[in-house]
Structure 1
Amino acid sequence: MAEHGATAPHRQRFDLVVSGGLLADPLREAPEPGDIAVRDGRIAEIAAPGTLFGDEQLDASGLLVTPGLIDLHTHVYAPRTYLGAPADTIGVRQGVTTVVDAGSCGSDDFSDFTDNVVRPAATRVLSWLNISRHGLVHGPRELSHGPGDVVEAATEKALRDHPDQIRGIKVRMSSSVLGDSGLAPLRSAKRVAERVGRPVMVHVGNEPPVLGDVLDLLGAGDVVTHAFHGKPGGLFGSERQARAAVARGVRLDIGHGSASLCFATAERALAAGFTPYTISTDLHARSIDGPVHSLATTLNKLLALGMTPHQVIRCATLHAAEVLGLGVDLGTLRPGSVADLTLLRREQGPVTLTDAEGATRTGDTHLEPVAAVRAGRIHPVKTGSA
């Protein structure tokens, strides 16, 4: 721990010290014991156990202390959309310090979203702005009514006016959403994203369009969410294009949702070298009670498929922060970064987990959130809350 900070006891006082835990920094290969000191909402120092003192002390004995978990794909525009879930219900109350709303809102309603969702939340709420001006406010077929659904100038203006809040553009490219729009909305999203220097997150599912045609339009930093679904086509219907896309920096995201994590597809993908870059939930009002439940439960499903705790934590911290362009402030335990932390208990013993198609797998270890620290403020996990 020496390179993180001093190891000799000293009496400098901090706002908060998280003590006694195993620090699971995704920049390191294995957890190490240590204490974390927080001042003014940022990590001020990391040192050997028992050497830091704070006005407030959080005992993490027996727990993993990770950077605050980031859920890259959620829907929290409640009550304006049919899917909206309260941000804190799936955020800090479940040990998640940052949720990213994935296209619930478009340019028409972004001010309302900011006023009524972002500002009141204890959880950090970021956004993938829907390329459709309507988002999901008028229902789930936001790109099916013709060219008027997409106003590139309005989308671009929203991104330029709110660069800290809007981290990229969301576009849903599946037959149930598009009507006769084809690839046009994705081409619009890419034009705007390239002008403002932000990535695109693409929802994939039922074809058409064929996944390979979607992938051919994507570049480094773009995200394919629902990449491990079990619907016809998918990764293995466009394997050549999928491998080429990953090689040029396109990132594969879980995006569990009600219909988009298939254990059989994920097992085949992992065996073929298609490892998810990020693990997200697509949590919304209709998936909280199952099959998704929480980000921690989704991480446990990937553990059951053979990924390691280190890998799944990286996917929901460091990698997610990199996708968002926030790797300096979020995703690690580096001194100077924002003091967003998640405390996890690592449980041993069998646990049965269910995918979006009702298939089950049994894991022999699982992670249970105990508390979140958001910008230095402690939030206990609400066990049993939806």
Structure 2
Amino acid sequence: MNTHNTQSEEALLIKAVRPIGFGPVSNALNGCIDVLIGRNGQVIRTAAEIRPEKDVEVINGNRCWLSPGWTDLHTHIWYGGTDISIRPEICGLSRGVTTLVDAGSAGEANFHGLRELIIEHASEDIFAFLNLGSIGLVACNRVSELTGLASVDIDRIAATVEANRDLIVGLKVRASGTITAGWDIAPVKLAKKLGRILKLPVMVHVGEPLPLYDDVLKTLGEGDIITHCFNGKIGGSILEDEELYRLVEESQQRGVVMDVGHGGASFSFEVARAALSNKLLPDTISTDIHKRSMPGSVWDMSTTMSKLLSLGMPLEDVIRASSTRPREVIRRPYPAMLEQGARANFTLFELNDSDLIVRDSKGVPSALKQVFDPRFTVLGAQHWTASRYQPAEHAPRCTCGGHV
């Protein structure tokens, strides 16, 4: 290290942005602020106006919003390791997302590849849920990762978790009849037992029964996650069954996390609109983005956030469910992010009026009233230009067999 470096300690200055999603700090800071970031990637200070020193790079926010970095809790980015995963740079920093969480693409047999070939080379912060099935989603929906107990190696799962606790944030199980056939609720119970032993939460994909959505909820506890909470599948929709709807409310009240997990077959405008109208808000907003869902109905994180906003979810709640709350769920909470010494992790975005036509996973169209337009992402002392995904005019619908 050069101890005689006379360069300024300042590296980046974000000018004229409106903070949102930082809790009470956002309310205390009226109007626009500037944020000064050091060469070590830490916030030096915030103020109504900061004059940069020489050679400091400046981002002109032009009164756009500044939020904690967006976190996508459900992605598939084990590119080359599964037949559905995409490269993290496609759905990460270039789309306003600073943290990506892979939701079970890898099992214990191939997690080392996800770590060494993807995570360690990515610019994004990446964490992962480890699939209960040893092979993960190598051939998603073509070769089930959970055909029976022979698909699960408990000792190797424990060893993999212990060797990778810096990255593994939970266990993932797809509780769907199309995956587990007649195994019913057993994989969820096994995952929950392992989660208790390893002190990790469990993320459960709910879909086509069996098991029943009801039984999954009864098995999970505080900190565990239901992903695809607003799916519209027969036998799995919370609109079809008043008892199930009440159970969802009760489960959320006792700490079960309700995650959107849009995906190619797992998000219904009708279900989400009804839930939001009854004040049942998702705890986290995520995309379940992968090679099949992205060009169909998902597109990206900002579009998924825009859908929830358009359906009536309050702006502050959308931001929290897309940034700070997911980080809490994976037990990697953001610090007081605008305070001196905090690592810079921000998304700069505009919220623009729109009449963009989007679709849910069932192909139902809806016009958005406003869209989130990411402009920059900031991670440490570096920044990236960001934008929304622009699909082809007639992007093909997802044809993923209805299971993801």
Report the TM-score when normalising by structure 2. Answer: 0.88
Residue 268 of structure 2 is aligned to residue 262 of structure 1: yes
Q: Which residue of 1 aligns with 2:366?
A: 361
User: Offset at 1:200?
Assistant: 0.8
**What code does the residue aligned with 1:18 have?**
I
User: Offset at 1:375?
Assistant: 2.2
> Is residue 373–residue 387 contact of structure 2 (8 Å, CA) maintained in 1?
no
SS in structure 2 at match of 1:243: helix
d(CA) in 2 for partners of 1:96 and 1:70? 6
> Is residue 143–residue 179 contact of structure 1 (8 Å, CA) maintained in 2?
no
d(CA) in 2 for partners of 1:228 and 1:243? 13
**What code does the residue aligned with 1:365 have?**
Q
> Is residue 13–residue 55 contact of structure 1 (8 Å, CA) maintained in 2?
no
Compared with structure 1, are the counterparts of its residues 27 and 14 closer, same or farther at alpha carbon in structure 2 (3 Å cutoff)?
same
User: Offset at 1:384?
Assistant: 5.1
**CA deviation profile, 1:117-152 (whole Å, cap 9, x unmatched):** 101111121101101111011433534421011112
Residue 336 of structure 2 is aligned to residue 337 of structure 1: no
**CA deviation profile, 1:138-169 (whole Å, cap 9, x unmatched):** 43353442101111221122222111211111
Compared with structure 1, are the counterparts of its residues 25 and 204 closer, same or farther at alpha carbon in structure 2 (3 Å cutoff)?
same
Compared with structure 1, are the counterparts of its residues 277 and 115 closer, same or farther at alpha carbon in structure 2 (3 Å cutoff)?
same
d(CA) in 1 for partners of 2:139 and 2:294? 22
Number of equivalences = 374
SS in structure 2 at match of 1:290: helix
Identity, % of aligned positions: 30
d(CA) in 1 for partners of 2:198 and 2:32? 42
Q: Which residue of 1 aligns with 2:401?
A: none
User: Offset at 1:268?
Assistant: 0.9
Q: Which residue of 2 aligns with 1:128?
A: 129
5+ residue gaps, structure 1, are: 1-11
Output aligned runs, 1:203-214, within 5 Å.
203-214=205-216
Residue 291 of structure 2 is aligned to residue 285 of structure 1: yes
Compared with structure 1, are the counterparts of its residues 355 and 385 closer, same or farther at alpha carbon in structure 2 (3 Å cutoff)?
closer
SS in structure 1 at match of 2:208: coil
RMSD: 2.0
d(CA) in 2 for partners of 1:32 and 1:135? 47
d(CA) in 2 for partners of 1:348 and 1:209? 42
Q: Which residue of 2 aligns with 1:8?
A: none
d(CA) in 2 for partners of 1:346 and 1:382? 12
Bigger mean CA offset, 165-174 vs 321-330? 321-330
User: Offset at 1:287?
Assistant: 1.6
Residue 384 of structure 2 is aligned to residue 379 of structure 1: yes
> Is residue 268–residue 360 contact of structure 2 (8 Å, CA) maintained in 1?
yes
d(CA) in 1 for partners of 2:273 and 2:116? 42
Residue 309 of structure 2 is aligned to residue 303 of structure 1: yes
> Is residue 105–residue 130 contact of structure 1 (8 Å, CA) maintained in 2?
yes
**CA deviation profile, 1:68-120 (whole Å, cap 9, x unmatched):** 10000000011121111000111011111111000000111111111111011
Residue 238 of structure 2 is aligned to residue 235 of structure 1: yes
SS in structure 2 at match of 1:270: helix
Output aligned runs, 1:104-253, within 5 Å.
104-140=105-141, 141-233=143-235, 234-236=237-239, 237=241, 238-253=244-259
**What code does the residue aligned with 1:291 have?**
S
User: Offset at 1:261?
Assistant: 1.0
d(CA) in 2 for partners of 1:369 and 1:110? 31
d(CA) in 1 for partners of 2:99 and 2:181? 33
**CA deviation profile, 1:35-85 (whole Å, cap 9, x unmatched):** 112221222322223356572221111211111100000000111211110
User: Offset at 1:338?
Assistant: 2.5
Q: Which residue of 1 aligns with 2:59?
A: 58
> Is residue 32–residue 63 contact of structure 2 (8 Å, CA) maintained in 1?
no
5+ residue gaps, structure 2, are: 1-7, 392-404
SS in structure 2 at match of 1:289: helix
Give 1:314's match in structure 2, choosing from 320, 325, 347: 320
d(CA) in 1 for partners of 2:307 and 2:388? 19
Output aligned runs, 1:3-82, within 5 Å.
13-28=9-24, 30=27, 32-39=31-38, 40-50=40-50, 53=53, 55-82=56-83
Compared with structure 1, are the counterparts of its residues 68 and 142 closer, same or farther at alpha carbon in structure 2 (3 Å cutoff)?
same
User: Offset at 1:219?
Assistant: 0.6
Compared with structure 1, are the counterparts of its residues 80 and 208 closer, same or farther at alpha carbon in structure 2 (3 Å cutoff)?
same
Report the TM-score when normalising by structure 1. Answer: 0.91
